[in-house]
Amino acid sequence: MSKPKIVVLGAGYAGLKTMRELTKSLSPEEADLVLVNKHNYHYETTWLHEVAAGTINPNQARFMISDVINPNRVRLIYDAVVEVKQEDQRVILENGEITYDYLVIALGFESNTFGIKGMEENAFAIVDIDSSREIREHIELQFAKYKTDEHAKDSDLTILIGGAGFTGIELLGELVEKVPKLCKKYDVDRHKVKIINVEAMPSILPMFTKDLVSHATQSLEDRGVEFRLGAAIKECSEDGFVVGDDNELIEAGTVVWTGGVTGSSVLTESGFELTRGKVTVNGDLRAPGYDNIFILGDCAWVMDEEADRPFPPTAQAAMQHANTCARNIKALLDNEPLETFIFDDKGTVASLGTTDGIGTILSGTELKGKAAAAMKKVVDNRSVLLLGGPKMLLKKGKYRPF
C-alpha cells in the first residue's frame, strides 16, 4: 500500500512548526512529507515592522528553510499556491500542481484595506520581507533626494501611518529610533520630519489598560509622533490620506497602511466558506466538511467560546495550532481520536522601539518600559528557537543591549 502524502502549505509560524513536529512524530515509512512555500526562506513576520523601518537588516529576520528542515526527509517546493481543488485532492501552484492525502493550509495573512478608495494603489503595507524592505528603501530615498531634488517639499519627509493597532504602534516605535539616524546621515533638520499616525478609534491599543495605553501614547509623542485619534481615513490619494468629515488631506512622502489584515486569498479562490476572510475551523482545526484538511494560523477563525469572539491572530496562537495539528494528523494515521485545540494564552507585548514597550503577561501582570522591551526580545528569540533550533537562535537572535 502506498504511503499517505501530507502536504503543508506555507512555512510561517504555523506551517514550519507543523512540519518540524511531523518530522519528529512520523517515521519516513509512515508518510511522505511535502512543504510548499513561496520563498526558499522562512521570515519572522513579527519582526517585519523593524525591517520596514530599517532598524534591522532584512536578513536577520529570515533563514533558509533547508537549514532547518531536512530536504532528504521532506520534499521542499518553492512556489506560490494558487488554489486548492478539494474534490480531487490537488493543489494548483503557479508552476505546477501537487496531490495530497492530508493537507495543512497555513498561508498567513494579507493586508485588508476594507475597500478604502486608493489604499491598495497608493499605500505601502507590511506583509512580507519584500513589501517591508520596499518601505525602508522608500523612506531612505525621501531623505536622500530632499537636498538634491529641486522639486522636493518638506512634506516628502512626512511618514504617515494609517491605523494604531499593534502593527502601526510597533512600526512607530521603530521609526522614532530610525528617523534621527536618517536625519544625521542626510543632514536633514529633525524638525522638518513629521511622523503622523491616523486612527479611527479614540485610543490606541484599546485591549490594554488606561495606564499602559497612556504610557505608550506619551512615550511615542515624546519622541516626535503626532497622533490623530478618532479620525477615520476615507481615501488614500497619491499625496496622502483624506481624513474626517471635512475631507482634510494629510500630505506625506511615505504612506503605510496598517489598518487590518485578513486570511490568504487562496481560501477565497478555493471556495471555502469564510468568516471575514478566514475559515471557521472545527475544534480539531479541520475545515468543516473536510476530514483531511487542517487550516491554521491567520487563515483560521478560531472561536474563544468563553469570550464569544475569535482569538486574535498571533504567532503565539499559530505555533500552538501547529502542535495540535501535528498530533491530530498522527492520530488520524493511527486511527486514534483527535484532540480539541485549547489556546494557552501566555500574554501580549507591544514593543515601542528597542528600549520601551507595554504588555500583559501571566494572566494579568502588567509590564511597561524596559521590562516589556526585554520580554519582547525573549518572545522573539523563543520563536526562532522553536522554529530554527539553538544554532539558528545564535545566528539570528536579538541581543542588542539597552
Q: Which residues, numbered 81-120, are part of the site for ligand NAD (CB under 6 A)?
A: 116
Do residues 94 and 70 lie in contact, with contact meaning Cβ atoms separated by under 8 Å?
Answer: no
220, 258, 217: which is closest to 236 by C-alpha?
258
Q: How far is the CB of 161 from ligand NAD (least distance, A)?
A: 10
Of the ranges 69-77, 240-248, 307-315, 359-367, which one interacts with ligand FAD (CB under 6 A)? 307-315
* 298 forms part of the interface with ligand FAD (CB under 6 A): yes
Q: Is 170 a catalytic residue?
A: yes
For residue 346, the minimal CB distance to ligand FAD (Å) is 9
Nearest in space to 40 (alpha carbons), one of 63, 72, 9: 63
Radius of gyration (Cα) for the chain, nearest Å?
22
Are residues 64 and 43 in contact, defined by beta-carbon separation less than 8 angstroms?
A: no
Closest-CB residue for ligand NAD? Answer: 165
Q: Are 347 and 314 in contact (CB under 8 A)?
A: no
Contact between 163 and ligand FAD by CB under 6 A: the answer reads no
Q: Is 252 in the site for ligand NAD (CB under 6 A)?
A: no
Q: CB of residue 99 vs ligand NAD: minimum separation in angstroms? A: 33
Please report how close the Cβ of residue 35 comes to ligand NAD at its closest, in angstroms: 24
Contact 388, 397 (CB under 8 A): no
Which of the residues 7 through 26 are near ligand FAD (CB under 6 A)? 10-15
Residue 128 binding target from ligand NAD, ligand FAD, none, CB below 5 to 8 Å by type: ligand FAD
Of 152 and 375, nearer to ligand NAD (C-beta) is 375
Residues 228-247 that bind ligand NAD (CB under 6 A): 232-233
* 248 contact partners, CB below 8 Å, separation of at least 6: 242
User: Quick one: cell of 182?
Assistant: 536618517
- Label the pairing between strands 81-85 and 90-93: antiparallel
Q: Is residue 360 at the binding interface for ligand FAD, with CB under 6 A as the rule?
A: no
106-135: contacts with ligand FAD (CB under 6 A)? 106-109, 126, 128
Q: Which of residues 57-76 bind ligand FAD (CB under 6 A)?
A: none
Contact between 230 and 284 (Cβ < 8 Å)? no
Q: Using the minimum distance from each CB to ligand FAD, give the nearer residue, 155 or 355.
A: 355
Question: Among 44, 170, 199, 251, which one carries the catalytic annotation?
Answer: 170
Query: Does residue 348 interact with ligand NAD by CB under 6 A?
Result: yes
**Residue list 186-205, contact with ligand NAD (CB under 6 A):** 198-201
Query: Any contact of residue 80 with ligand FAD (CB under 6 A)?
Result: yes
- Catalytic annotation, residues: 170
- Residues in contact with ligand NAD by CB under 6 A are 116, 162-168, 170, 198-201, 232-233, 258-261, 312-314, 348-350
- Residues in contact with ligand FAD by CB under 6 A are 10-15, 36-39, 42, 45-46, 48-49, 80-81, 106-109, 126, 128, 167, 170, 264, 266, 297-298, 313-316, 318
